Structure 1
Amino acid sequence: MKRFLAVFLGSPASMDAWKALPESERNRREADGMKAWGDWVRKHEAAFVDHGSPLGKTKRIAAKGIGDVRNELAAWTVVEAESHDAAASMFEGHPHFSIFPGDAVEVMECLPMPEG
């Protein structure tokens, strides 16, 4: 089995639109979304290597120094699957973008570190 990192993405515009919803609507969608997310996790439980977590604010470190940035990274998880396509298919219709304001999930293989 290969390991794959899944990164949940959400644009700042999507998050701003979510925050603009009435609180009652956000609460309803959040409850529906968390139930659907839990159902999705149970369906794919055997594939999880690390359930991951939501991601907080970002600092970018570059040659010129450290600064605050806003990006699309929202959460991550690590799964195992036979192939890249099999891993990707697990996220089709995921509540991250079907209920929550997330825009996409990107899935990439975790490659072995080169020796040396």
Structure 2
Amino acid sequence: MAIFLALYMGSDTPMDPGAMDPAEIERGMAAWGQWMTDHAESVLVTGGPLGETKKTGKDGVTDIRNKVAGYVIVEADSHEAAAQMFENHPHFAIFPGDSVEIMEQLPIPGQG
């Protein structure tokens, strides 16, 4: 089994959560909870939503914006199997999220 980081990607223009119909939010959260239940054996870290971003570089710390809205860490037999777990995920099937990006955690070089 391999470990994968899945990033919930938002849109270029973030939506005001207050603009969504409360019934639609409730339906979406119920579907998200069901997804978590359905994949409980594969979810290693439940993750969650993410807030504002700061970037630290050679020039110091700056405020930036990216599209990463949240994350979860899952385990699967293959990269393809991990990606298939997110087909029709509520993040983009119900909510206005753009996509889910899934990447494998690779071994640290020199540590086996």
TM > 0.5 fold call: yes
CA shift, 1:19, in A, is 4.5
Residue 45 (1) aligns with residue 40 (2): yes
Partner of 1:46: helix, strand, or coil? coil
Q: 1:20-35 to 2 correspondence within 5 Å?
A: 21=19, 25=21, 27-35=22-30
Alignment of 1:17-96 (within 5 A): 18-19=16-17, 21=19, 25=21, 27-96=22-91
Q: What SS does structure 2 have at the residue aligned with 1:39? A: helix
CA distance in 2, matches of 1:34, 1:73: 19
SS of alignment partner, residue 45 of structure 1: coil
Output one character per residue of 1:43-73: Cα deviation in whole Å (capped at 9) or x when no partner.
1110011111111110011111211111101
* CA positional deviation for 1:12: 3.7
- Partner-residue secondary structure (3-state), 2:30: helix
Q: Which runs of 5 or more structure 2 residues have no equivalent in the other structure?
A: none
Partner of 1:99: 94
In structure 1, the gaps of 5 or more residues are none
Which is richer in helix? Answer: 1
Query: Structure 2 length as normaliser, TM-score?
Result: 0.92
CA deviations on 1:2-59 (whole Å, 9 max, x unpaired) are 000000000241x23x5473x5x1x122101100001111111100111111111100
Letter in 2 for 1:75: G
Q: Please give the alpha-carbon distance, in whole angstroms, between the structure 2 residues aligned to 1:70 and 1:28.
A: 29
Aligned residue-pair number = 111
Tell me the SS of whatever aligns to 2:29. Answer: helix
Does structure 2 retain, via aligned residues, the 8 Å contact 1:11–1:71?
no
